[in-house]
Structure 1
Amino acid sequence: MTPLRPNWHPGQEPGLDPSKPNGGRPHTPDLNEACQITVVDFSEDNIDVHDFDNAGLIDFMAKPQDSWIKCRWINVNGLSWDVIQALGQHKKLHRLAIEDLTNINNRTKADWYTDHTYMVMTLQKLVHLHDHEGKEFDMDDKYSVEANPNHRGGRFSRAIHNMFSKSARKNEYGDKQRKASTVSAIAPQNGFVTGHTDGIATAPIQKLRTLQRYHGGANQERMAYMELHSPLTGKGLAVSAEQVSIFLTADNTVISFFQSSADDVELPILNRLATPDTILRRSCDASMIVQAIIDAIIDLAIPVTNEYQNVIGDLELDVLTEPSIKHTTALYVVTSEIAAMRGFISPIVNLINALKDHKSAGVIAGGRSDMQNPASPAGLKISPMAQTYLGDVEDHIILMTESLDQMRRSCDNMIDLIFNTISAYQNESMKQLTVVTIVFLPMSFLTGYFGMNLHTFTSLDHGEPFFWSIAIPVALVVIMFCMKDMLKWWFMKVIQRRGISRSRKGRLSREAQARRNR
C-alpha cells in the first residue's frame, strides 16, 4: 500500500479533516494538479453553467446559492487537494469519505452519512492509442495496400500483398514480440498512455491508465508484458480504467470527481440538461444526476465488451482453423483483462441495490451514533424515479457480466481445445510410428540374421526369394500378435456399426410403412 498511500502510517487517525491544515496529517496529501471544473445550476425554467479552475471554484463556493436553483451539479476533472478541501469544508463532507477520495484504488461501494452519501466505482472505456507525437496508432496501417501511395499493381498483386500482409500481422501478433517502433508507440510514460475515447469524434487526447496498470500492483514488468501482448494493442486499442467518486448531499447537490474522463460523462448529461423537456431537467432531482452518471459509466464499458467479443471471435477462428500453442498467450491475456473488467463492473450492482433500498439518511456522522445525532426530516433520500431508472442500469450490468462470463468460458474452452488438438496430433503421430515399427520389426530382425558374417551359412545359397518366403509369413504373424488388441477393437467396431445401421434401416422402414398405411 505504500506506493498508493505515501503519507499513510500505522495507527494514525483515520480519515482526512478538510477543516484542518493538510487534513490533520503531518504532510499535505500528494494531490496537486490543474482541475477542469464545471458547475451546473438548474431548475425547471432556467439553467446556468460555469467553468472554473481551482482558484475560481474556491471563490465561487464562498458566494451564497441563488434562490431559483433547485439542483446543483459540481463536476471535477482531476484530483487536487485544494479543490477537495474547499468542497469538503463547504459541504461538510465526512473525513472518511475524503480519505477514500484521495486514494485512487478503492472497492466499489456506497457509504451513508447523515446528510450525504459517498459512492465510488471504476470507469472503464475503450480508447484509441496515440504515439508520443499525438498521431493515432494502428498496426494495420503499415500493412495496408491503400496506405502506400507508391504501391502499383493489379488485382493479383494486391491479393499476393494482402496474403503476405496477413502473414506478417499473424507473426507479429503471435509469433514474436512487437518491433521497437511499435513498443515506443504504446509504451506508457510514468504509468500513463495517450489516447482518445472510442466512438466519440470530439474526444480529446488524454493521459490514461490502462486496465493492466490500474489493478496490476507494483510489478511493472508484468504489466508491460501484458500490455504488449494484448490483442487489443495489436489493433491500436486499449482499455483505460480510473476511479470515479460521487457525493450526493441532502441539499440536492451532486459532486463528482473524475481523474481524466469527465468530458465523456459530462457532455451528454449537459446536452440533456440543456433540453427543457427531458426527464433529467424536469425532475430537478440530484439522485437522477447520480443515475445519469452511473448510466454513462456503464455505457462507456459496453464498447469494451463488444471489442472483446470481436477479439475472441478472431482468436476462435484461428484456433479452429490452425491451433497453435502460441494462441494461449493471447487467450490468457484476454482472460486476465476480462476477469479484471468483470471484477470492476459486477460490484456496481450491489451499489445500485444499496441506492434503491435506501429510505433515509445514514446512521453515522462525525463519529456519533444515530441515537445521539438523529437524521433531520430533510435527510438524504433516493427518489422513486431514480430507483426505477437505476433498475434499468442494473439490467445492463447483468447482461454485460453474463457476456463477460461467457467470453471467459470461451477462452478456457479454446485453451483446452488447443492442448487437446495438439495432444491428438501427437498421439496420431505416435500411432503411425508404432505401426511402421511393428511392420518393419520382423524384416529388420531377419535382415540382421541373414547379414551375420558366418563362414558356413547355407541359407544364403537359396537366393532372394528364400528370404521373402520367410520374412513375409514371419512379419504377418508378428503384426497379428502385436496388433491383436487394435485389430480386435476394429472388428468389434465394424460389427457394432453394421448392427446399428441395420437396426436403423429397419426402424425407418417400419415407420415409413406405418405412415403409408395411415
Structure 2
Amino acid sequence: MPRENSFSDSDGRSLTPDLEEADVPVPVSPTYDAAPTSPTSARNRPPPLSPTKHTERARTISRPTATSTMHPAHRFRYTVRKVIAMHRGTTVLSGRGVGAEPGVDPRRASADAQYGGIKQDCVIEVADYSTVRSSFGRMTNREFAQFMDDPAASEREPWVKVRWINIGGMSWDVIKAVSLKYDLHPLALEDVFHTRSQTRSKADYYNRHLFLRILCHELGDPDEAIGATAAEGSTLTDLPRSLSPSPFTDADAEMEMRELGKGDFEEDEKTLRGTQPTRKRRPLLPTSRADVRRQSSRTATTTPGRRDTAEVLKDRRMEEAAIKALKSGERVNVKVSPMFIFLLRDGTVISMHATPDLELTQPITRRLRQRDTGLRSSADPSLLVQSLLDLLVDKALEVIDAYHVKIKKFEREILLKPRITTVRNLHILSGDLILHKRTLEPIRTVIYGLRRYDVDRAAALIETTPGAPEVKAVGFMSHKSKIYLADVFDHMEYILTSLEMFAGIGENLINYTFNMASYEMNEVMRRLTLATIIFLPLTLLTGYFGMNFERMWSVQGHSDILFWIIALPVMAIVLPIFIVPDIKRMIHYVQKRMLTKKVAKTFKTA
C-alpha cells in the first residue's frame, strides 16, 4: 500500500517505494545530519541491542529480499519504475515551477543543489554592544559558519543587549549558517535569493522575526555607468522565479527505459546477468548545481514550443546592455542594490547586502564605537534598524542632490541655446527619475507601516483559541525608534517631491525647447511672407511692363517713372491690408510700454 503524499501511476501503484523495500537514498543536507528528535520519541526509543541480538538482527537484514528472487525482466521493470520515481522526485526537488513549494528551506538537499553554486568571499562583522561596553569582530565565510555551528561560541554574554550581524556579500554557506542558527523563515530567504534591483521594498512580519527588504540608491562612478549596470535586474540564481518544468509523460518514461535498458529486454537481461559490459551509474538525485542546470535545460529543450531559459536571459541582457549603451552620456550613475534586514525578538539584528565589503554601513559602526551616541546609549535593536533605514535614505538624498545639479546644468543650456542633444539628455534623465520614483515610493510606505501598523501586524500573528487568556501584542519597533522614523519619513517625502519637481522641470524644458523651435520657424515663415507681400505688386507690374508688344503707349510714350507712379500707390494699399494684425500688435505693445513707464514714473515721484 503506498504511503501518503507519494506519487502513484494510473494503476494506483506507488512510484515512491518505501525505504524498507527499496534502497532509495534520502535527500539530506550536508550540514544538517538528521531531524531533531523530540523527548517523546527519545522515551519510546528501544534499548540498545546486546551483541547476540545485534548478530541476529544483522542476519535478518542480510536475508535475500523479494527483488533478488525476481525474474530478470521483472527485476528490470522494478528498477525502471524506481528510476522514474526518483526522476520525478528530482524534478520536484530541483524545479522552481509554477505551484511549487514556496520558500527556501536550507535543511533540504534540494536547496543545497539549487543555491550551492552561489559562492562569494564575504565580509562578516559581528557587533555586540550595550550601554556599558561593546565588542566587534570580523570573520570569513568558514569562520562564521563554524561560529554559528558552535553553540558555546555563538552564545551571547550576559552584558550583551544587542547583537548586530552585518554580512557584506551573498554566499550560500554564510546565509545557510545564519538561517539555521536563528531559524529564519523560508519565505524571507526566498526573497533574498530572488530579488531584482527593481523589486519593491517591503516589510514582512513573522512569528520569530521582522524581515525588511529595502532598495539602496547610492551614487556610483560616472565612468562605470555602462558596465556597472549591465547585469541590472538579474537575480542571484540567474533563473526566473516561476520556472515551470514540463510534466512527466509516457514519452519521457520510454526515453528513460531506452537509456537504461537499450530498448530491448533481452539485452537488459544480458546486462543484469553480467554478459554485457555495465555502464557507469549516474546519481539519481542532483549532487551539484550543474546537475540541476543540466536537467532544467533538458526539460526546456524536450518541451515543444518552449525556449530555453538561458536563451531568454541572454536575449534580455543583450537588450538591456544595448539600451544602456545608447543611454550613455550626461547621466547620473545610480547603483540600486537591495539590503535585507532581520530583526529578532531576542535583540539580534541581521543585515545583508550584495557588496562584499562594509563601506556602506561604516557610519553606523562608528556610531556604535562611541559611547555617548544615542544609538549606543539606548541599546535598542529597533533603533539600530531605524539607523540602517536612515542611512539608506541619506544615500538617496545624495542621489537627489546629484540630480539637482544635473537639472540646473540642463536648464542653463536650454535657456542659453536650445539644442537637440540637451533634449536627449533631458529625456533620458526624465526616464531615470520615473524609475527611481517607482523604487523609492515603497520605502516611504514601509516606513509609514513601521510607525503606524507595527503593533497591529504583530497582533495578527498571535494565534488565539477560544477560552484562552488574551495575549497582549508587542510590536518589533520601540516608541523611541518610531519617533526617529518620523524624521526618516520626512526625508522620504522630500525625496519624492524633489523627484516629481525634477521630472516636471525636465518636461517643461523639453516643451520649451520645441516651442522655441516652433517659434523660430514661425518667425522665419513670417519674414518670408512679408517679403513676398512686398514684392508681389512689383513682380506683377514688372511682368506687365516687360511684355514685347509693338504698340504699348505706357512704355513707348513714357519713361520708367510711370512704373513707380503705379507701383507705389498699389503697394501702399496692398501692404496695410496684409499686415493689419501686425500693426495692431505693434500699437498694443506701444500702449503697454507707455503705461508701464507712466506707472514707474508715478512710483518714483511718490
Pair in the same fold by TM > 0.5: yes
Corresponding position: 1:222 with 2:323: yes
Deviations 1:295-326 (A, max 9, x none): 11111222211111111111111111111233
TM-score normalized by structure 2?
A: 0.63
1:441 paired residue number: 536
Secondary structure of the equivalent of 1:382? coil
Q: How large is the RMSD of aligned CA atoms in angstroms?
A: 3.2
Residue 385 of structure 1, CA deviation: 1.1
Match for 2:483 among 370, 388, 391? 388
- Alignment counterpart, residue 122 of structure 1, candidates 215, 225, 228: 215
Q: Does 1:13 align with 2:114?
A: no
**Which residue number in structure 1 is paired with residue 231 of structure 2?**
191
Give the aligned residue type for 2:375.
L
Show the counterpart of 2:425: 330
TM-score by length of 1: 0.73
Find the aligned partners of 1:247 and 1:9 in 2 and give their Cα distance: 27
Distance 2:385 2:206 in 1: 17
* Shift, 1:339, TM fit: 2.1
Structure 1 residues 71 and 436, CA gap change in structure 2 (3 angstroms): same
- One-letter identity of the residue aligned with 1:318: E
2:522 to 399, 408, 427: 427
Q: State the Cα distance separating 1:112 from its structure 2 match.
A: 0.4
> 1:376: how far off?
8.0
Q: Does the Cα contact within 8 Å between 1:34 and 1:80 map onto a contact in 2? A: yes
Q: Deviations over 1:105-132 (max 9, x none)?
A: 231110001121110111111123457x
Unmatched tracts of structure 1, length 5 or more: 1-5, 132-184, 193-214, 233-237
Equivalent residues in 2 for 1:426-505, closer than 5 Å: 426-461=521-556, 462-491=558-587, 493=588, 497=592
Q: Indicate conservation of the 8 Å contact 2:122/2:357, yes or no.
A: no
Report the Cα distance in structure 2 between the residues aligned to 1:72 and 1:27, rounded to whole angstroms.
30
Which of 34, 42, 45 matches 2:129?
A: 42
Residues 172-211 of structure 1 aligned to structure 2 (within 5 Å):
187-188=227-228, 191=231
Give the aligned partner of residue 253 of structure 1. Answer: 348
Q: Secondary structure at the match of 1:37?
A: strand
* Greater mean alpha carbon deviation, residues 28-37 or residues 328-337: 28-37
| SS across alignment from 1:27 | helix
> 8 Å contact 1:346–1:398 — kept in the other structure?
no
Give how far 1:489 is off: 5.0
Counterpart Cα distance in 2 of 1:276 and 1:494: 71
Secondary structure in 2 aligned to 1:229?
Answer: coil
Answer yes or no: is the 8 Å Cα contact 1:119–1:245 preserved in 2.
Answer: yes
Match of 1:164 in 2: none
1:72 CA drift (Å) = 0.7
Match of 1:150 in 2: none
Secondary structure of the 1:453 match is coil
Structure 2 CA distance for partners of 1:460 and 1:374, relative to 1, 3 Å: farther
2:400 aligned partner, one-letter code: T
Which amino acid is the alignment partner of residue 360 of structure 2?
Answer: V
User: Which residue is 1:168 aligned to?
Assistant: none
Q: After superposition, what is the alpha-carbon deviation per residue over 1:329-376, rounded to whole angstroms, capped at 9, x for unaligned?
A: 1111111222222222232121112212312774677xxx83379998
State the Cα deviation string for residues 432-458 of structure 1 (Å, max 9, x = none): 111111000110111122222333333
Matches within 5 A, 1:67-466: 67-68=157-158, 69-105=160-196, 106-129=199-222, 187-188=227-228, 191=231, 219-226=320-327, 228-232=328-332, 238-260=333-355, 263-357=358-452, 358-359=454-455, 362=458, 370-371=463-464, 381-461=476-556, 462-466=558-562
Gapped runs of 5+ residues in structure 2? 1-93, 233-315
Which deviations, in whole Å up to 9, do the C-alpha atoms of 1:260-285 show, x marking residues without a partner?
A: 17523321111111112222112221
Structure 1 residues 61 and 374: alpha-carbon distance in aligned structure 2, compared to 1, 3 A threshold: farther
CA contact (8 A) 2:230 2:321 kept: no
Q: Residue 112 of structure 1 aligns to which amino acid in structure 2?
A: Y
Q: Please tell me the residue identity of whatever aligns with 1:482.
A: F
| Counterpart amino acid of residue 230 in structure 1 | E
1:455 and 1:79 map into 2 onto residues whose CA distance is 102
Q: In the comparison of the two structures, how many residue pairs are matched?
A: 420
Letter matched to residue 325 of structure 2: A
What is the identity, as a one-letter code, of the residue corresponding to 1:82? D
Shift of 1:482: 2.4
* Matching residue within 146, 171, 175 for 1:59: 146
**1:84-123, Cα deviation, whole Å (9 max, x unpaired):** 2222221111111111111222311100011211101111
Alignment check: 8 A CA contact 2:458 2:476 kept: no
Kept in 1: contact 2:226–2:325 (CA 8 A): no
